[in-house]
Amino acid sequence: MASDEFIDRAKKIVKEIVPLEISITGIEFEGPVVVIYTQNLEAFAANNDIVRRLAQGLRRRVAIRPDPKILADTERAETEIKHIIPPEAEITDIWFDQETGEVSIEVMSPGVAIGPKGKVLNEIKATIGWAPKIVRTPPIPSKTVGEIRGYLKMISEERKNWLKKVGRKINRDRISGEVYARASLLGGFREVGRSASLISTKDSKVLVDCGVKFASGEDDTPFLSAPEVLPIDSLDAIVITHAHLDHSGILPVLYKYGYDGPVYCTAPTRDLMSLLQLDYIKVAFGEGRKSPYESTHIRDTVKHCIPLPYGNTTDIAPDMRLTLHNAGHILGSAMAHFHIGDGLHNIAITGDIKYEKTWLFNPCTDKFPRLETLIMESTYGGHGDYQPSRREAAQGLKEIISSALATKGHVLIPVFAVGRSQEVMMVIQQLTATKEIPEVPVYLDGMIMEATAIHTAYPEYLNSHLRNQIFQKGENPFLAEIFKRVETGKNREEIVHNPDSCIVLATAGMLNGGPVMEYFKEWCGDANNTIIFVGFQAEGTMGRRVQRGMKELQFSHDGKTISVPIKMRIETVDGFSGHSDRRQLMNFVHNLHPRPERIIIGHGEESKSLEFASAVYKKFNIESRVPFNLETIRMK
């Protein structure tokens, strides 16, 4: 059905369902949402059944918004908000969302800002027309979140016009002919890195993930020049499962070469991947490499992101609906479930998953409405890939750190800024507070503190225990006095040459660049020092070579090649990974509901993927395939 026909039909359905006394002033598309404008927002709020019936009748996500004519201008609205909300609520920020007609008010004391039985909120709504949303002030301010909010405010009108264009493209006429669904595998199969898959039908093409590979000496980008991908602007949508660069690192390149469509992901993924992509440019510059994109392309990516919460089903193409589910891997990580056609086929792509409750997140979802094909990761799918529990991992970290500090050495922990950093911080804070390890400074170098700030900006994505600890009890492990942020290169130089014991958490997590290398170069020659790996080290990275016993580090300095013997203790603490181990992966498949007809195995070294596929077939009698990159599999 063409978009104009759909709007005509929508007007008839709205007229049938909405009572005459409720004034409807407009109906239009905004991205995947059908927006209904009204001057009687309270009437809809008082009767949720109207919205439910509209969504059922239109078979689309429906948003009820105030008519822009009844909204006060933002300057007057902000003045009124500050006048109405009691000073003891302590307002820290106010931002207006022109797309939704909502105003988010960030305060230190949400209860005071809401008022008894919502009295304050009701007064705000009656005075300015905007729908107020009270948000608790994050314990750690995030520069990234603030800048993204400011940028989206600046381009709000441009973005609104673009969303209308997206909505009309989603609701274009379908092509007649035989229906089918295919998955073209463009990266991340029989390897770890450069994840990318294309889901295509006769009507649409959707790219899932667009990552980079960090192993040196190999192709590091997905096969985006494959004929089924081109031209780039023929893509209907891109879905990003999570922010790690092996899933999002090449995304801005698509905007560099002409893509103008939407990116669907969770809000934390949008913010975190922007942070990591900017750092990718910075690291490339520092290493004398040319980045494949510039910061302007990252801004383009942010402008085109359509954030989705978990569980909301959204039309993203004429014959495709998307639902994001918790993946348990990092903040905002998601499994992407696609409903194709009118019940033709259902496919889920796991991205990276953790099937265990961690210090930060709940375990990944294992229930779907329908599921015929599953594309899943196998990072730790080998027959011997069993990890300790989080409790055992904490004990292991305690023993190694205690031993290292007993020799007056330095402890270096390479970490990924997002996920592992925060969990390691929580464990070190707890061990120090209970005096199970000596109290020494813990330096955070790289993007760790900014990534942590983004975590506290999205408390709804953390597990309930951590949310309660931070926001109800006021006990924030990330704000412990032992943590010191490394602000400058001079600061880093002082730490490197300070003889006193300390612990350093530094990015990058696979010793493939970043500030961690400055510490490693200086400390690796001293047997009193210790390096602790707490995350996956991909094949071909320096981290993997050091783990395997590399004896000497060579690097360039002032045009000369310098060799340093590696004498420091090399330790690995398993159990901190955001990936599921073999046992958890098998349990995930066992508990899947419904059970899929086929499982396509990716995101794992070749041997691990093959071993995991064999185990799945033998135990569950499910068709299990380990394709090569550039294979295309017809699913229906």
Same domain, 198 and 54: no
* pLDDT recorded at residue 398: 97
Same domain, 105 and 211: no
* 3-class SS of residue 66: strand
Spatial contact of 479 and 453, defined as CB atoms under 8 Å apart: no
Quickly state the pLDDT bin for 217 (edges 50, 70, 90). low
Same domain, 486 and 601: no
- φ and ψ of 406, to 5 deg: -65, -25
Residue in this structure with the two tokens 């302007």, named with its chain if needed: 296
pLDDT tens track for 144-177: 999 999 999 899 889 989 999 999 999 888 888 8
Q: What is the pTM of this model?
A: 0.91
* 3-class SS of residue 207: strand
Mean predicted lDDT score pLDDT of the chain: 93
The yes-or-no verdict on residue 97 having pLDDT over 90 is no
* pLDDT recorded at residue 304: 98
Inside any domain, residue 511 = yes
| pLDDT, average across residues 236-240 | 98
Same domain, 303 and 355: yes
CATH code for the domain of 287: 3.60.15.10
Inside any domain, residue 93 = yes
* pLDDT recorded at residue 10: 87
Beta-carbon contacts of residue 197 (< 8 Å; ≥ 6 apart) = 183, 184, 185, 186, 188, 207, 208, 209, 349, 375, 602
Tokens (6 digits) for 624: 């299990």
pLDDT tens track for 384-420: 999 999 899 999 999 999 999 999 999 999 998 898 8
DSSP string, 478-535: GG-TTEEE--SHHHHHHHHH--S--EEEES-TTSSSSTHHHHHHHHTT-TT-EEEE-S
Looking at 523, 539, 572, which one is the last position of a domain? Answer: 572
* pLDDT recorded at residue 46: 74
* pLDDT recorded at residue 284: 85
Triad 407, 412, 417: Cα angle to 5°: 155
Same domain, 198 and 345: yes
Out of 263-277, 368-382, 541-555, pick the least confident: 541-555
Same domain, 214 and 362: yes
Residues comprising the chain, all counted: 636
Separation of alpha carbons 379 and 191, rounded Å: 9
Same domain, 269 and 360: yes
| C-alpha atoms less than 13 angstroms from C-alpha of 611 in its C-beta half-sphere | 17
HEC per residue, 401-443:
HHHHHHCCCCEEEECCCCCHHHHHHHHHHHHHHCCCCCCCCEE
Residue in this structure with the two tokens 């602790």, named with its chain if needed: 532
Same domain, 527 and 394: yes
The yes-or-no verdict on residue 1 having pLDDT over 80 is no
Inside any domain, residue 172 = no
CATH code for the domain of 38: 3.30.300.230
| pLDDT, average across residues 490-516 | 93
pLDDT tens track for 186-197: 999 999 999 999
Q: What is the amino acid identity at position 502?
A: C
Domain extent at residue 359? 180-384+582-634
* pLDDT recorded at residue 452: 93
pLDDT tens track for 551-586: 999 887 777 888 999 999 999 999 898 999 999 999
* 3-class SS of residue 605: coil
* pLDDT recorded at residue 218: 59
Inside any domain, residue 166 = no
Inside any domain, residue 157 = no
Separation of alpha carbons 324 and 328, rounded Å: 12
pLDDT tens track for 579-605: 999 999 999 999 999 999 999 999 999
Inside any domain, residue 152 = no
**280, 308, 472, 504, 541 from 507: Cα distances, Å:** 12, 29, 31, 10, 14
Which run of H or of E encompasses 238?
Answer: strand 237-239
Looking at 115, 137, 159, which one is the last position of a domain? Answer: 137
CATH code for the domain of 399: 3.40.50.10890
CATH code for the domain of 106: 3.30.300.20
| pLDDT, average across residues 90-106 | 89
| pLDDT, average across residues 296-312 | 97
Same domain, 266 and 410: no
Quickly state the pLDDT bin for 216 (edges 50, 70, 90). low
The yes-or-no verdict on residue 99 having pLDDT over 80 is no
Same domain, 592 and 561: no
Same domain, 88 and 185: no
pLDDT tens track for 424-443: 999 999 999 999 999 999 99
Inside any domain, residue 170 = no
- Of residues 335, 319, 318, the one with CA closest to residue 327: 335
Looking at 12, 36, 69, which one is the last position of a domain? Answer: 69
- The number of domains in the chain is 4
Same domain, 99 and 192: no
Quickly state the pLDDT bin for 628 (edges 50, 70, 90). very high
| pLDDT, average across residues 323-328 | 98
Inside any domain, residue 35 = yes
pLDDT tens track for 461-496: 999 899 888 887 888 999 999 999 999 999 999 999
